[in-house]
Amino acid sequence: MSKQELSSAKARNESAKRNRRIKAAVQWVLAIIVVLIIVFPIYWMLVSSVKSQEEILLAVPTLWPREFHFENYINVLNRGNFAKYYWNTAVMTAGILISQVVTGIFAAYGFSKGKFRGQNVCFIIVLGALMIPLQVTFIPLYIMMANWGLSDTFLGLILPEAVSPYYIFMLRQTFMAIDDSYVEAARMDGLGRVGIITKILAPMCKSTLFTVTLVTFTNGWNSYFWPKIIARGEKRRVLTIGLAQLQNTFAGNETMNNHEIMAGAVLAVVPVIILFFIFQKYMLTGYSKAAMK
Amino acid sequence: MKEKRMNPRKVSAVKDFICVVPVLIFLAIFTYYPIAELFRISFTDWNLLKDTWQYVGFKNWQWLFNGSGTRYLWNSLRVTVLYSIGELTVTIVGGMIFALIFNRMNKAFSAMRAIVFMPKYVAMSSAAVVFLWILNTDTGILNYLLSLVGISAVDWLGDRNTALISVLMLTGWRCIGYGMMVYLSAMMGISADYYEAASLDGASSFQKFVSITLPMLSPTTLFLFVTTFISSMKVFQSVDILTQGGPYRSTEVFVYNIYRYAMVDFRMDRAATVAIFFFVLLLLVTVATMKISNGRITYDS
Amino acid sequence: MRKKAALVLAAAMVVGMTAGCSGGGSTGKAAVNNADTAAENAGGAADTPAEEVSYEVTEPITITWWHALEEQYSDTVTEIVNDFNSSQDLITVEAEYVGSYSDVNEALVAAHAAGNGLPAITVANTPYVAEYGAGGLTEDLTPYIEASGYDIEDFGDGMVAAAQYDGKQVSLPFLISTQILFYNKDMVDAEGITLPSTWDEMDAFMEAATVKAADGSTERYATIIPGWDQWYFETFYLNQGVNIINEDQVTTDLDGETAVAIAGKLKEWCDNGYTYWTGTADDASSNMRSNFISGKALSVVHTTSLYNTYVDQCDFEIGMAWLPGGETKNQEIGGCVLLIPSKNDQATKNAAWQFMQYLCSKDVNMKWAEGTGYMPTRKSVLETEEGQAFLEQKPAFQAIFDNLDLINPRIQHSAWSQLSNIWKNAMAEMILENGDVQESMEQMSLEINDILSDS
């Protein structure tokens, strides 16, 4: 290699390095801008929730509260009845979660490791349900529930969501990936179906199971459409509906209590956001897992 | 069973079947039966305010396709399609751009990715009331920021030209991180060999992106397209909180249209008729997208 | 066995899917009776002798009261409910804020259809009385009134009529208001502006009372007419002889010449900058109020119930003027009545009746009348020195006391809420999006005719 060639290679190397550094700088700048924009609504919700009513209506908004009014939260919990909404949401979510997990695991087992005539037809019935959302069937469902006396009850909130074709589908895919020999071996050891599911399959798919369950939890916690239809009264109102209601009451015709509405908004998201940060790893893959299948 | 001494294979099959029975019964009652009911109701004149109803033949269908319901049917169809296009663009194009920006593997970037993805987990109702507050005409911070650069106040939610855009802002905020994550995990699956080979051929970064990244991501794009399209057609909550379908039905998406007939006007007959139309539409879209996805895409195995 | 099980399931699913199609059977309580069976039921209900029913409350009971009274009334609500609960031992009332009047309407109809989750007693906006009466949602209060010798004669005649359906007393007047023109008395006096007393004088008033800047933009609106509720502008039509619902009950006159002309005027004033159309958004009302309070509007059309709110918030004197009329100068009752859902059990109804009597009593009524802008409902107030004393406290109410006989019940039709939604949306779209008046009114009337004839 001649001297010239060497130096030009060096130069090329230099310029590539410079390019890479520029690229990194651009990425950093853009990323920070994006993050600031994305974070802003959440930041704004938090600061607005501790401002006073006067401060929130100032012509020039303050980026940092002059005084902290944590009593906004107390007001919302008492007047807006948020404590009750919390309880209702928790019970509803737990109900949906438990029933989806239990029915889902067994069905997924039946469809992946089981063998029976009509298996494919049955699975198509499950998949077909994916194409019939609540947004289509809510009218007859609402009437059914009303006839059974289930409007404004926990059972009414939970029943239509108690089985999730999505959950079954995801778990079935995961169970399919496990070699049948494990199941056979367990069977030889005298394990029944419940044993195989709880001792073999579930532990082997722990992370998928956990991820899908987390998604189910957040979907339940954040659900809005069906609760809005079935729990119209105050008795079984959930957080999401209660917050929309608060918006109508407080920002409606006569009062502009946006600081308290923001406090309510914070209260409604806190459990899920805490979960998000604790189980970030699972939450991040939750949706992309679905994407890869 | 013991007495009959059934073949153990058969016993096993029955037990396997029992595992899926609860689910099947459930879906029969809560998913398939309501669809049949929906058809029945669409042939009645059932108004929830009244004590009685009777069958009226195709009256509701006539109302829907050749009556006062037609105009709003097409309106909601148009609004829904516009909304879907918006959500698709944000998720796919925005998601792709974000994936390129955040495609850097270190702790800081991983934290930033988590933040960008987080809105997906913020309950829509919380996000919607925050956006209501940000978009407020008189006291919202967005109009304040715009006033700093000399743009006069915009009535974001009250003007039919901006109402749907406002709803899409909220959607975009919640969905763009999801598109990003899906693309990023797909990008990591692309073998580095391709890029090295291209580098040896002297390809620029842009060329590499167009000739390697994009084609390799096509299954992911298709996946995003199908799932986002179908879920965007079912949008309700953001519209319900932000605009209630207004101003003058300019954001009245399909589900809101059905909801209004059923739960505001209490015309179950009309609501059921529109719901069936919506159901058929969903089926067609699903089948069509599945047809497209079969064959067109090159998988890298 | 395997085959059988699969077959059974398949059969079950087919049955499940087709059962609904096979006939018009009853779906149970949800108001879904086929025409024949419902007729039978109605016959059966009519046979039930009313003599046996006791209207006394004998055992402790907790009942729910649905209301639509927002934040600013919550202290009064709490006080009144506590007073009632401590005044006797048997009944405990729990007040529940349900939302706006239309929220209450939606929740009530849904609960009635479901047959559970009903409140013992609820408020209802005045135009819904007919819907509820026709749908059998409300309990006929006549036997209760007779049994307890309740003095219904003391209510103003128009108010009693507004609470009736088909001659039956299905509700009682509770918080009653009417439309009124609130004006900035300081400005009107200082500038010597004449308020319009007829629709024809409106043009002159609008022009005279508007203040424009040099660049043609409006500095002060002459008046603002709310567009979020058709109640505020419907009297203009009624007083010029427009039949919002024709006598045949299935068509509207809103595409007639007069109606189109009125709509055209409203639009013209907006186009000229004399006023603006509020639209139907959630914050339309608070925006309108802040315009008036800050002096950016000389007057606003609003409900009398907000009188105290305005007095508290404005640093000028508030005047109230009767709305300009046409052939007639009528206005309509607003606010809410109280009713007892018919599907409650008798014990709940009896308790509700006790609470209803209390809520409608003169003392409670006067608490509202003094603390807010709702009107006294009693003749024994309106026509006596008590009324004079009230007027001394609130002289602006003279405009209402002078015209008491002109306050009419609302238009009653079972499709009214649908009609009003179509109307207010069409008005907003026409004015704000600069639509063609004739065309908009015709299109709107087509839709209204459709829902009227098909309700």
The rounded distance, in Å, linking the Cα atoms of A92 and A255 is 31
DSSP assignment string, C172-226? EEEEEEEEEEEEEHHHHHHHTPPPPSBGGGHHHHHHHH-EE-TTS-EEEBS-B--
Question: Two tokens at B28?
Answer: 């029969």
Best residue in A125, A135, A166, A225 to probe B by mutation, most B CBs within 10 Å? A135
Question: Chain A residue with minimal CA distance to B176?
Answer: A38
B299 touches chain A (CB under 8 A): no
3-state secondary structure of C230: coil
In a domain, C188, yes or no: no
Averaged confidence pLDDT in chain A: 85
The rounded distance, in Å, linking the Cα atoms of C180 and C299 is 10
Question: Chain A residue with minimal CA distance to C119?
Answer: A233
CATH number for the region A81-292 comes to: 1.10.3720.10
Q: What is the DSSP letter of C322?
A: P
3-state secondary structure of B35: helix
Q: What is the DSSP letter of B32?
A: I
In a domain, C17, yes or no: no
A132 touches chain C (CB under 8 A): no
Q: Was domain B70-296 assigned CATH 1.10.3720.10?
A: yes
* Rounded mean pLDDT, B126-152: 90
Confidence at residue B301, expressed as pLDDT on a 0 to 100 scale: 32
Enter the ipTM. 0.89
What percent of chain B clears pLDDT 70, i.e. is strictly above it?
Answer: 95
- Contact partners, residue B117, CB within 8 Å, separation at least 6: A283, A284, B177, B178, B180, B181
Decide: B177 and B118 in contact? Cβ < 8 Å: yes
* Rounded mean pLDDT, A37-56: 91
Whether B22 shows a pLDDT value over 80: the answer reads yes
Which residue's entry shows tokens 């291209």? Answer: B198
Decide: A84 and A154 in contact? Cβ < 8 Å: no
- Contact partners, residue C199, CB within 8 Å, separation at least 6: C236, C239, C240, C262, C324, C325, C326
A175 touches chain C (CB under 8 A): no
**Residue C183's beta-bridge partner residues?**
C299, C319
Higher model confidence: residue A254 or residue A148? A148
The rounded distance, in Å, linking the Cα atoms of B229 and A141 is 25
3-state secondary structure of C409: coil
Q: What is the DSSP letter of C410?
A: P
Same domain, C261 and C393: no
* Closest CA–CA distance from residue C420 to any residue of chain B (Å): 11
* Closest CA–CA distance from residue B136 to any residue of chain A (Å): 11
* Rounded mean pLDDT, A29-39: 95
DSSP assignment string, chain A? --HHHHHHHHHHHHHHHHHHHHHHHHHHHHHHHHHHHHHHHHHHHHHHHTS-HHHHT-SS--SS-SS--THHHHHHHHHT-HHHHHHHHHHHHHHHHHHHHHHHHHHHHHHHT---TTHHHHHHHHHHHTTS-HHHHHHHHHHHHHHTT-TTSHHHHHGGGS--HHHHHHHHHHHHTS-HHHHHHHHHTT--HHHIIIIIIHHHTHHHHHHHHHHHHHHHHT--HHHHHH--SSTT--HHHHHHHHHHHHSSSS---HHHHHHHHHHHHHHHHHHHHHTHHHHHHHHHHHHH-
Helices H / strands E in chain C, number of each: 20, 13
3-state secondary structure of C339: strand
Residues of chain B found within 8 Å of residue A249, distances taken between Cβ atoms: none
B278 touches chain A (CB under 8 A): yes
Residues of chain C found within 8 Å of residue B39, distances taken between Cβ atoms: 20-21
C6 touches chain A (CB under 8 A): yes
**Residue C96's beta-bridge partner residues?**
C66
Q: What is the DSSP letter of B103?
A: -
Domain hosting C269: range is 194-297+415-453
Count of domains for chain C:
2
The rounded distance, in Å, linking the Cα atoms of C335 and A145 is 33
Whether B2 shows a pLDDT value over 80: the answer reads no
Cβ–Cβ of B68/C451 closer than 8 Å? yes
* Rounded mean pLDDT, B134-156: 88
Same domain, C166 and C66: yes
Nearest to C307 by CA among C455, C181, C172: C181
pLDDT tens per residue, range B58-79: 999 998 998 888 989 999 999 9
Please count the residue pairs, one from chain B and one from chain C, whose beta carbons lie less than 8 angstroms apart: 117
Best residue in A117, A232, A235, A261 to probe C by mutation, most C CBs within 10 Å? A232
Cβ–Cβ of C113/B48 closer than 8 Å? yes
Radius of gyration for chain C, computed over Cα atoms and rounded to the nearest angstrom: 25
Cβ–Cβ of C31/B265 closer than 8 Å? no
Nearest to C407 by CA among C134, C199, C155, C205: C155
Q: Give pLDDT tens digits along chain C (455 positions).
A: 444 444 444 433 333 333 333 333 333 334 344 444 444 444 444 444 445 677 888 889 999 999 988 777 888 889 999 999 999 889 999 998 887 888 888 889 888 887 778 899 999 998 888 888 888 899 999 999 988 888 888 888 888 888 888 888 999 999 888 999 999 999 999 999 999 999 999 999 999 999 998 888 899 999 999 998 899 999 999 999 999 999 898 999 999 999 999 999 999 999 999 999 988 877 788 788 888 998 999 999 999 988 888 888 889 999 999 999 888 898 888 889 999 999 999 999 999 999 999 998 888 888 888 878 888 888 888 778 888 888 888 888 888 888 888 888 888 888 888 898 899 999 999 998 899 999 999 999 998 998 888 76
Read off the pLDDT band of A12 (50, 70, 90). confident
Confidence at residue A251, expressed as pLDDT on a 0 to 100 scale: 53
Best residue in B6, B26, B100, B133 to probe A by mutation, most A CBs within 10 Å? B133
Same domain, C171 and C120: yes
Estimate the share of chain B in helix, then strand, then coil, as percent rounded to the nearest 5: 70, 0, 25
Residues of chain A found within 8 Å of residue C107, distances taken between Cβ atoms: 232-233
The rounded distance, in Å, linking the Cα atoms of C179 and C195 is 16
In a domain, C365, yes or no: yes
In this complex, which of B68, B157, B248 lies closest to C428 when CB atoms are compared? Answer: B248
Read off the pLDDT band of B216 (50, 70, 90). confident
Where in chain B are the domains?
70-296
Read off the pLDDT band of A286 (50, 70, 90). low
First to last CA, chain C: 53
Where in chain A are the domains?
3-49, 81-292
In a domain, C269, yes or no: yes
* Closest CA–CA distance from residue A38 to any residue of chain B (Å): 6
Higher model confidence: residue A78 or residue C291? C291
The rounded distance, in Å, linking the Cα atoms of C447 and C455 is 12
What one-letter code names the amino acid at A256? M
Confidence at residue B247, expressed as pLDDT on a 0 to 100 scale: 85
Read off the pLDDT band of A261 (50, 70, 90). confident
Q: What is the DSSP letter of B44?
A: B
Instruction: Using CB atoms within 10 Å of the CB of residue A31, give its burial: 0 to 12 exposed, 13 to 18 middle, 19+ buried.
Output: buried
What is the number of other CB atoms lying within 10 angstroms of the CB of residue B218?
Answer: 15
The rounded distance, in Å, linking the Cα atoms of C455 and B47 is 8
Confidence at residue B222, expressed as pLDDT on a 0 to 100 scale: 87
Residues of chain B found within 8 Å of residue C106, distances taken between Cβ atoms: 263-264
Pairing relation of β-strands C218-220 and C299-303? unpaired
In a domain, C5, yes or no: no
Cβ–Cβ of C71/A257 closer than 8 Å? yes
What is the number of other CB atoms lying within 10 angstroms of the CB of residue B89?
Answer: 14
The rounded distance, in Å, linking the Cα atoms of A287 and C187 is 63
In a domain, C234, yes or no: yes
Q: What is the dihedral of CA C363, C364, C370, C374, to 10 degrees?
A: -130
